[in-house]
């Protein structure tokens, strides 16, 4: 991963998209995209209005052909007649003539360098000599020139939208399907626009993989800073999914960059009605408003999780989850359930699941300690019960420093924003966990200052971050916790998380949220991974319904990654990391993929989920 938190803040230039400026010190702009047929004027206008009334600053519509591009003018006039002046954006793939048509009619056009002048990627190597590669860039330049001239004349903004799922074969042959390949693809187009003195550009680096999206965007920012460029940036995680997972995956990726002062406009891509994306995006932008980055430390964050864990946790593949149950008076079956455990309906035996907390913090020692349950206790109470297994003492760094009794297996130190680094210099990192507690409402960068202090003093511990929220709404807690913790987890800065909430959200939901954040960042997999696109006018089947059916049929397949894509524009590429794909091919028809290879084509939609499951079960049987 590229380094987090740039030492020199990225300040974008200001451009005007219609009457709504973007970049600089202007607020972070919110947008969504319609999923109606762009030729259906009535439906498209109605959906645009719902998106605008939900709070969008811009609305994007697909224009896959010239007829769709031309109808943008009709849609725009109907919106203006209804009193809505929100700028419109045309989304273009594969069709330069559609882009040129739309550029005369709307305020902004999004083009994809992976397919604007190149054919659909075949994922086959295309070796070029230096001259041949240069000739290809000249061909692209020639192809772009008409669009550039039209945008010059009409003051139309262009977004160079790079998708990890649709890089050209030429780029992938030389640079791979990688963040670097994404940045080089953007650079090639930037150079062409600069040569033509066109600067009304917005850039985006999108992927369904949050880590790739973050790394590519950081790399692009570093490149632009080194060359004195400052184009505004559009942020988004493609195919984020629906429901909780879609919100968490988007918040983790977008929030990580907003926290670093990166991002001018955002779109949260959910497999739901597009107007439902706007409140999520608004909350993200509100949590990291323009200028908050100035509260961050000047030094870039580079602290890394130590290679070794305390011995008792080496069996756990990924960050730890610690559940704070100190407010729960008695740990009966209901209490254990809130920490992710289950009780046998016949025997009452407490059993661990993939979503059970690794450690539970309690005030008092339980009389009976179930197998595979581990507790953190105040150190004096631990000392009274130290002969029992799976009990570990909780100290402040000061009391640990002074204490005459300590655990040989694991000691847990609880500290916060007023830490004294001197008391953290003696513990053995192989037998110590440090829980850092802070208030994220007014200390969003407290963890950065703490981790920097550890690094400056050559102290390497597994750190458990414990933000303490005060939320009464689970959706708000999901967005805030995911956007806050995502970058530390994705950058491998911490050893685990412990979310505390003082508010009207059940503890079981808080525990589940911790595991969902790790699941959606793919740092600890405890269930099936689903990717699904938000749909657009290219989608020819009921994607939302298909997602639900696929989840019902495959939810037991822990660890598999299954992608549900509305069309084949980005589908095969975004599925590069998926085991299986369900991709729209034509009206009511679906292709079934194994990786990036279609194994069944043009399956009727009514049979497609069953056929997908049949392919998976056959593969599983042959393992």
Kindly report the number of other CB atoms within 10 A of residue 132's CB atom.
Answer: 11
Range 417-435 average pLDDT: 90
pLDDT in tens, 229-243: 999 999 999 876 667
Of 233-237, 259-263, 491-495, 597-601, the one with minimum mean pLDDT is 597-601
Average confidence score pLDDT of the chain: 90
Cα(90)–Cα(99) distance, rounded to whole angstroms? 8
Per-residue model confidence (pLDDT) at position 313? 81
Per-residue model confidence (pLDDT) at position 540? 63
Tell me which residue of 369, 366, 372 sits closest to 354, measured CA to CA. 372
Cα(40)–Cα(385) distance, rounded to whole angstroms? 71
Of 86-95, 120-129, 337-346, 525-534, the one with minimum mean pLDDT is 120-129
Per-residue model confidence (pLDDT) at position 299? 87
Confidence of residue 574 (pLDDT cuts 50, 70, 90): low
Alpha helical stretches, state H, 354-445? 379-384, 397-402
Confidence of residue 121 (pLDDT cuts 50, 70, 90): low
Range 21-37 average pLDDT: 96
Q: Which residue has the higher pLDDT, 346 or 14?
A: 14
Confidence of residue 497 (pLDDT cuts 50, 70, 90): very high
Share of the chain above pLDDT 90, in %: 62
Tell me which residue of 210, 164, 192 sits closest to 485, measured CA to CA. 210
Per-residue model confidence (pLDDT) at position 354? 92
Kindly report the number of other CB atoms within 10 A of residue 2's CB atom.
Answer: 15
How much is the pTM? 0.92
Confidence of residue 570 (pLDDT cuts 50, 70, 90): low
Indicate whether 561 pLDDT > 70: yes
Confidence of residue 429 (pLDDT cuts 50, 70, 90): confident
């Amino acid at each position: 991963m590229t380094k987090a938190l740039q030492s020199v803040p990225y300040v974008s230039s200001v451009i005007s998209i219609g009457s709504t400026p973007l970049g600089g010190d202007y607020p972070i702009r919110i947008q969504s995209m319609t999923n109606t047929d762009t030729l259906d004027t009535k439906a498209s206008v109605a959906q645009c209005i719902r998106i605008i009334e939900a709070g969008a600053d811009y609305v994007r519509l697909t224009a896959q052909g010239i007829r769709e591009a031309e109808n943008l003018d009709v849609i725009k006039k109907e919106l203006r007649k209804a009193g809505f002046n929100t700028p419109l954006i045309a989304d273009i793939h594969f069709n330069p003539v559609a882009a040129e048509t739309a550029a005369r009619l709307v305020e902004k056009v999004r083009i994809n360098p992976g397919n604007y002048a190149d054919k659909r990627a075949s994922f086959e190597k295309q070796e070029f000599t230096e001259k041949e590669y240069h000739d290809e860039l000249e061909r692209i330049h020639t192809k772009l020139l008409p669009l550039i001239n039209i945008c010059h004349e009409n003051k139309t903004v262009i977004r160079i939208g790079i998708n990890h799922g649709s890089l050209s074969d030429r780029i992938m042959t030389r640079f791979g399907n990688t963040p670097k390949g994404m940045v080089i693809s953007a650079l090639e187009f930037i150079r062409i626009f600069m040569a033509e003195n066109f600067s009304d550009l917005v850039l985006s680096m999108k992927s369904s993989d949050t880590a790739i999206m973050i790394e590519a965007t950081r790399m692009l920012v570093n490149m632009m800073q080194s060359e004195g460029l400052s184009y505004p940036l559009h942020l988004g995680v493609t195919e984020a999914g629906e429901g909780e997972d879609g919100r968490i995956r988007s918040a983790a990726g977008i929030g990580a960059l907003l926290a670093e002062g990166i991002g001018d406009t955002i779109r949260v891509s959910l497999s739901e009605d597009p107007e439902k994306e706007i409140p999520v995006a608004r909350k993200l932008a509100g949590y990291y408003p323009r200028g908050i980055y100035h509260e961050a430390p000047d030094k870039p964050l580079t602290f890394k999780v130590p290679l070794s864990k305390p011995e008792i946790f080496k069996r756990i593949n990924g960050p730890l989850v610690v559940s704070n149950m100190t407010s729960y008076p008695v740990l009966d079956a209901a209490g254990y359930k809130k920490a992710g455990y289950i009780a046998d309906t016949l025997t009452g035996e407490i059993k661990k699941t993939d979503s059970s907390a690794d450690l539970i913090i309690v005030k008092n020692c339980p009389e009976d300690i179930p197998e595979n349950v581990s507790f953190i206790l105040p150190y004096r109470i631990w000392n009274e019960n130290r002969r029992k297994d799976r009990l570990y003492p909780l100290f402040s760094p000061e009391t640990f420093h002074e204490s005459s009794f300590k655990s040989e297996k694991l000691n847990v130190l609880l500290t916060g924003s007023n830490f004294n680094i001197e008391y953290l210099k003696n513990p053995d990192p192989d037998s110590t966990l440090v829980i850092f507690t802070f208030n994220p409402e007014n200390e969003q960068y407290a963890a950065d200052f703490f981790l920097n202090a550890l690094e400056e003093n050559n102290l390497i511990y597994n750190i458990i971050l414990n933000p303490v929220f005060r939320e009464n709404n689970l959706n708000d807690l999901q967005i805030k916790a995911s956007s806050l913790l995502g970058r530390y987890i994705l950058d491998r800065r911490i050893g685990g998380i412990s979310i505390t909430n003082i508010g009207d959200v059940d503890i079981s939901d808080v525990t589940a949220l911790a595991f969902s954040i790790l699941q959606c960042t793919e740092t600890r997999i405890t269930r099936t991974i689903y990717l699904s696109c938000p749909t657009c006018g290219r989608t020819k089947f009921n994607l939302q319904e298909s997602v639900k059916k696929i989840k019902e049929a495959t939810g037991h397949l822990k660890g598999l990654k299954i992608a549900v894509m509305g069309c084949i524009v980005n589908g095969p590429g975004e599925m590069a990391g998926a085991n299986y794909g369900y991709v729209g091919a034509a009206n009511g028809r679906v292709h079934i993929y194994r990786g990036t290879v279609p194994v069944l084509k043009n399956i009727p939609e009514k049979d497609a989920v069953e056929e997908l499951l049949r392919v998976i079960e056959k593969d599983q049987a042959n393992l």
